[in-house]
Amino acid sequence: MHRDFWINQGFFQAAWPACVIGAAYGQLWIGLLVVGAMAVWQLHPARRHPQDLRMLAVCVGLGILLDSFWVRAGVLAYSTAWPSPGFAPLWILLLWVALALVINHSMAAFKQRLLLIGLLGGIGSPMSYFAGARFGAVEWLAPAWAVVLAVGLSWALLLPFLFWLSRPEVKASAARSSLTTDNAGVETE
């Protein structure tokens, strides 16, 4: 493990308290500063992985969908719900950005350990949301067992999917499947 690994993981570990505690106190700038610095560092051409931008798009898209779903379904409510209380707030989307920026870097080993990352996500995510609630960044609106089950199960499935999606062979397979064959048997794009 070299310096870039530790800097990437350090930014990731700093992102959660910066975003969550910052949101609890209405201070979005703290999370913006930490995750922004992480993005500048990790997306520098010397350190950027070829799939980083793709994973950023996928993670932010899934973050908008999943965390907006929790709000709309009456499972969770987020403090500092900017830009709108009916959708995933900016601070939680910053956490999705941070996740996207470790998948191909300091946490890349999980690409070959999908069951383990699913187990860790299923256990760790409800704990993370619980800690966020203790700080005042999120409120559990549903019964605790329902939040733990819904959040834990979703992350137990979502994390292995994200790490699987970032594998090089998945990208190559997707590229091959985008080719079609015309009537003469010639592959065209």
What residue spans define the domains of the chain? Answer: 3-177
Residue 172 has pLDDT above 60, yes or no: no
Residue 175 in this model has a pLDDT that exceeds 60: no
Q: What is the mean pLDDT of residues 137-162?
A: 96
CA separation (Å) from 156 to 15, 19, 72, 148, 149? 21, 22, 21, 11, 10
Confidence at residue 179, expressed as pLDDT on a 0 to 100 scale:
54
**Angle made by CA atoms 137, 135, 37, in degrees to the nearest 5:** 65
Q: What is the mean pLDDT of residues 128-137?
A: 95
Lowest mean pLDDT among 35-44, 97-106, 109-118, 169-178: 169-178
Q: Does the reported pTM lie above 0.75? A: yes
The C-alpha angle 43, 48, 53, rounded to 5 degrees, equals 70
Tell me the C-alpha distance between 132 and 118, whole Å: 21
What's the residue count for the chain? 189
